Structure 1
Amino acid sequence: MSKPLKQIHLAAHFPGVNNTTVWSDPEAGSHIEFSSFAHFARTAERAKFDFLFLAEGLRLREQGGKIYDLDVVGRPDTFTVLAALAAVTERLGLTGTINSTFNEPYEVARQFASLDHLSAGRAAWNVVTSWDAFTGENFRRGGFLPQEERYSRAKEFLATANELFDSWQGDEIVADQETGTFLSDAKAGAFVHTGQHFDIEGRFNVPRSPQGRPVIFQAGDSDEGREFAAAGADAIFSRHATLDAGQAFYTDVKRRLAAYGRRPDQLLILPAASFVLGDTDAEAEELAKEVRRQQVSGATALKHLEFVWNRDLSAYDPEGPLPDIDPDVDGTHISQGRAQVRMYRDPLATARAWRELAAANNWSIRDLVIETGNRQNFVGSPATVAKTINDYVQSDAADGFILVPHITPTGLDVFADQVVPLLQEQGVFRADYEGTTLRDHLGLDTPGLTGP
């Protein structure tokens, strides 16, 4: 007997902090004005997506001491945006990335519990750590923690937040109208936590939220990150979106769950994925090439090369050959606050490999950055893209995808109108919401009053 078809989970990432967005497109809109967020969220809800996802930028990135102006010009506060979106949506989950390195458990738990109440149980928290001192300069806790300490703090941060979420053992505290005192006062959010990173005691002032706790996401890919997710996350925001890499990641993370007394279905694997649609596969392929060249302008290509070379390359022609000088591996890095800096741990080896690729293919600087950078994950007609997504999910390369359109805020519309109906026809994606909370959408258990 064949196993039943898995149901696909879909979400939408508002792409405000990466170079996926084609800023030069006439349809590109503001990444600050609320109308952009509202349009994006309403489209996702119309398509019956599980949730909307917001990344976080805690400092404007710099290159060569100047604001890096090629991909983002600011980032509004996550909680403010999600709270506003709660008022213009009814079922869509609201997921925010909040840093565990520079915040405090009481404050973050209070904000997420409040958001869960405001949205009637649709809040989710993507727990991340911060790796760079550059971002840390914005906070009292300057600098940064070594990786093992970052995850140690993150684990205790999440555990402490869960203690706060669970500290209310009833739905509400009732006031005695005659005496003015509270009944069942002993249940009203009392907590005591003593640990390596946090030593706090008091009463949590937000009653237990509709989901018990917000859904917990994790985005780290290191071994420590995978263990952190297996121990306490509900879903992983993964970057492994090819079939082979997705299956390997899926298998590795799911097998870790048993050590924590968890079932495979208690942790969802949701890679980020971009897409380009056309009337035919050939048309989509041509459009994808055009989109990629729009995403990587000549200026962007030079800036990307500077991540590796750690030199000012503004004098080079992006349509010309790669620099014949070697990367500077001794000086302070000219890029600040960019995750790409960590991706090239051996700049000299990377430069050699790139020169060989460019020579073999007669690539310019811009060609190289386009060909070696992130590619669109799903390219084709609506039928092709729907089939590919379903194949990935049914073959355990993912439980679904967090889609990142290249146009904001309208880029999700075509997927909602042309791909989602095909998935619904195949019986692998909901025709309507069956529950009210994000945990309902994701098929996750609701935590009990006293434990996970």
Structure 2
Amino acid sequence: MSHKKRQMKLGAFLMATGHHVAAWRHPAAQADAGLNFKHYKQIVQAAERAKFDMMFLADSAAVWDRSLESLSRSSVVHFEPITLLSALAAVTERIGLVATVTTTYNEPFHVARKFASLDYLSGGRAGWNLVTSANAAEALNFSRDHHLEHALRYRRAREFAEVVTSLWDSWDDDVFVRSKESGVFFVPDRLHVPDHRGEHFVVRGPLNVVRPPQGYPVMVQAGSSEPGQELAAETAEVIFTAQQTLDDAQVFYRSVKGRLDRYGRSPDHLKIMPGIFPVVGRTEQEAQDRYARIAGARGHWQLVGTPERIADQLEQWFVEGAADGFNVMPPHLPGGLTDFIDLVIPELRRRGLFRAEYEGRTLRENLGLPRPANKLRTGERQRPGKAEPAAAASAPLRPAASA
């Protein structure tokens, strides 16, 4: 029996003009990129043509607190990510659309509704990067003087994820019969009311969007602290992490994957994708010349060299238990991404390490992740047929039996 060779996953981590601190000043950069839809459309379509698994948008609900002089030299404005991804869903077909939304300054119902909608708009390509806020200035925009204490933020995040997934499970996949003959729009006993009551949230539900095409949008996290690793082991399907050496990356990889068994999860169902900051040149000298204005990779792995040299390093991490793929952080856009696409990806394909075509249409299918079962479904229910709407019409919404 033949087995398909394991291949790496790739994400395109798109800061507006790139990850260099002054990327907006690059001669080929779109200086107004943060609010330029045409710019995002072009680079995301390029990533899709290259068969990237996903594109990823980071986000913060505040302008970072820096000196006015520093801020005045930085690109500090950008689209709200769910709005942008909804627009990009209409001009792409296969690439995953992943965005950061903090659990610290949002409510679960809002997040569940927005990502379920995005999953429908994109045909099953949405992903949620679940974070707790790190930017202290965010507190000042939400009627607080400072963040909640670190451990408390993670307890809140864990409960937040539980509420969101329960809301996504409000409806069975086969709930809507929409029978014009009988007048029945949905089968009443296939609706579940989560009625969550916990330490931080009281949320009745149900969600007013049907269960997403993927069951759940893909759950992504970026925490590397002890609480972050534990939360990821329990809830995440993709981890974006910052690791600079092979040894550190292997330790992190083993640590997180080693926690999955306690949650009844398979190691294959969590993809660890360290960030990489590639500076690619056709020759070593060209790569070094490009690197000489670079200010650093903000704690991520920095790779400088020819396509062959960069592919060697990525292959080593991939085969030696340090990564399932990588989150590519171009120094500037669009050139930093197109250099990687034009030079490195053909080398990865030559080695059989990266796909030539997408495996499926949804982000889960392309990442090789299972579609989650509905945790509120209490057992196999009657298939659609002649319903009795009169009795159900006067009954109030009831909490799900398993909630």
TM-score normalised by length of structure 1: 0.78
Query: Which of the residues 407, 414, 438 maps onto 2:363?
Result: 438
Q: Which moved more, 1:268-277 or 1:136-145?
A: 136-145
Cα distance, 1:4–1:174 mapped onto 2, change above 3 Å: closer
1:400 is aligned to 325
For 1:117-174, what per-residue CA distance to the aligned partner results, in whole angstroms no more than 9, with x for missing partners? 1111100000001145421111245531101110010000000001011121124422
2:142 is aligned to 139
1:356 is aligned to none
Cα distance, 1:103–1:97 mapped onto 2, change above 3 Å: same
1:57 aligns with 2:54: no
Unmatched runs of 5 consecutive residues or more in structure 1: 296-369
For 1:240-263, what per-residue CA distance to the aligned partner results, in whole angstroms no more than 9, with x for missing partners? 142122111111111111121112
Cα distance, 1:445–1:178 mapped onto 2, change above 3 Å: closer
Whether the aligned pair in 1 keeps the contact of 2:276 and 2:327 (CA below 8 Å) is yes
1:207 is aligned to 210
Q: Secondary structure at the match of 1:186?
A: helix
Whether the aligned pair in 1 keeps the contact of 2:19 and 2:332 (CA below 8 Å) is no
Tell me by how many angstroms 1:232 deviates: 0.9
Q: Which moved more, 1:42-51 or 1:197-206?
A: 197-206
Whether the aligned pair in 2 keeps the contact of 1:270 and 1:398 (CA below 8 Å) is yes
Separation in structure 2 between the aligned mates of residue 73 and residue 66 of structure 1, nearest angstrom? 13
Tell me by how many angstroms 1:91 deviates: 0.2
Q: Secondary structure at the match of 1:137?
A: helix
Separation in structure 2 between the aligned mates of residue 436 and residue 5 of structure 1, nearest angstrom? 20
1:169 is aligned to 172
Give 1:87-236 correspondences, 5 Å limit. 87-140=90-143, 143-178=146-181, 180-236=183-239
Separation in structure 1 between the aligned mates of residue 186 and residue 14 of structure 2, nearest angstrom? 44
Letter in 1 for 2:100: T
Calculate percent identity across the aligned residue pairs: 41
Separation in structure 1 between the aligned mates of residue 245 and residue 312 of structure 2, nearest angstrom? 14
Separation in structure 2 between the aligned mates of residue 155 and residue 15 of structure 1, nearest angstrom? 27
1:416 aligns with 2:341: yes
Whether the aligned pair in 2 keeps the contact of 1:40 and 1:410 (CA below 8 Å) is no
Tell me by how many angstroms 1:220 deviates: 1.1
2:266 is aligned to 263
Cα distance, 1:60–1:159 mapped onto 2, change above 3 Å: same
Cα distance, 1:141–1:171 mapped onto 2, change above 3 Å: farther
1:378 is aligned to 303
Letter in 1 for 2:349: Q
Cα distance, 1:241–1:118 mapped onto 2, change above 3 Å: farther
Tell me by how many angstroms 1:391 deviates: 1.4
Letter in 2 for 1:177: K
Whether the aligned pair in 2 keeps the contact of 1:21 and 1:406 (CA below 8 Å) is no
Query: Which of the residues 253, 256, 271 maps onto 1:253?
Result: 256
Separation in structure 2 between the aligned mates of residue 214 and residue 380 of structure 1, nearest angstrom? 36
Cα distance, 1:4–1:375 mapped onto 2, change above 3 Å: same
1:317 is aligned to none
Whether the aligned pair in 2 keeps the contact of 1:37 and 1:409 (CA below 8 Å) is no
Unmatched runs of 5 consecutive residues or more in structure 2: 378-403
Whether the aligned pair in 1 keeps the contact of 2:275 and 2:300 (CA below 8 Å) is no
Separation in structure 2 between the aligned mates of residue 396 and residue 239 of structure 1, nearest angstrom? 15
Whether the aligned pair in 2 keeps the contact of 1:125 and 1:214 (CA below 8 Å) is yes
Separation in structure 1 between the aligned mates of residue 165 and residue 255 of structure 2, nearest angstrom? 26
Separation in structure 1 between the aligned mates of residue 307 and residue 244 of structure 2, nearest angstrom? 18
Whether the aligned pair in 2 keeps the contact of 1:242 and 1:377 (CA below 8 Å) is no
Q: CA RMSD in A?
A: 2.2
1:27 is aligned to 28
Whether the aligned pair in 1 keeps the contact of 2:166 and 2:375 (CA below 8 Å) is no
Separation in structure 2 between the aligned mates of residue 102 and residue 274 of structure 1, nearest angstrom? 30
Separation in structure 2 between the aligned mates of residue 374 and residue 148 of structure 1, nearest angstrom? 23
1:428 is aligned to 353
Q: Secondary structure at the match of 2:230?
A: helix
